[in-house]
Homo-oligomer: A and B are copies of this chain.
């Protein structure tokens, strides 16, 4: 299948005027689709872009799978035109999809990962917080802060020095046996795995300052494609160790999350 193209005057290219979703396909069927659909719908409302029909969206998984696990990337732009930032009178959104085979990182599931703090602080923009829009330069810049292959993710704080998320994953921590994730009301993306865990009452929203991060009981990063990675070590933006956590004997967050994703749920040593 040839790769879709967009013309020069597509507003997704010109202004990042659109949304995307990255969906795990298992045996050709989308996982947590209702949460992806809900986020896409919320994004369309915020940006005032017509939401494609369920039938249009489901075209993306009509072809037979090429692998047991695939990643479906879906991009929806406002389409072409308009004078400058003003939107066209007649909007014809452009929906494009692409599927690529995917392999999970079982070592990260089992052994946990090393993460670092990013220097970039996310700006506050409540109108764009939560949705998965195409304006992702903050993530791109943050991801350029490190090249070391042993660092699996970078953690992002906001202008108020609260921890928000990782560059492409949500963040989870535990305190006194309860599981938490940061509010995504000023910046950041509401991941679909996070949404599903919240919806089932398994995690709770809270705020966590960067200063308090090193002393949480446990820390995880995760999303709906990769699953959940326990954090074993946290470094600052200069590479110095801030904290380390022992390998978990049991992992309630990973078990719950992987049950939702259809991944193996526990890696007891």
- Would you call A39 an interface residue if the criterion is a C-beta within 8 Å of the partner chain's C-beta atoms? no
The interface-forming segment of A3-11, A195-203, A234-242, A259-267 is A3-11
- Would you call A161 an interface residue if the criterion is a C-beta within 8 Å of the partner chain's C-beta atoms? no
Per assembly, the copies of the chain total: 2
With A9-B3, A124-B124 in contact, is A137–B16 under 8 Å at CB? Answer: yes
B contact residues around A15 at 8 Å (CB): 16, 134-137, 139-140
Residues of A within 8 A of B (CB): 3-17, 20, 47-48, 73, 75, 77, 84-87, 96, 98, 120, 122-125, 127-128, 133-144, 159, 167-168, 187
| Listed A/B pairs (13) with beta-carbon separation below 8 Å | A5-B7, A13-B13, A13-B77, A15-B16, A15-B136, A84-B143, A85-B142, A120-B127, A122-B125, A133-B137, A135-B135, A135-B136, A159-B159
Given A6-B8, A85-B136, A122-B125; 19 other pairs, CB 8 A cutoff: A3-B8, A6-B13, A8-B98, A10-B13, A12-B13, A13-B75, A13-B77, A15-B16, A17-B137, A47-B137, A47-B140, A84-B143, A85-B139, A85-B140, A85-B143, A123-B125, A124-B124, A127-B138, A133-B137
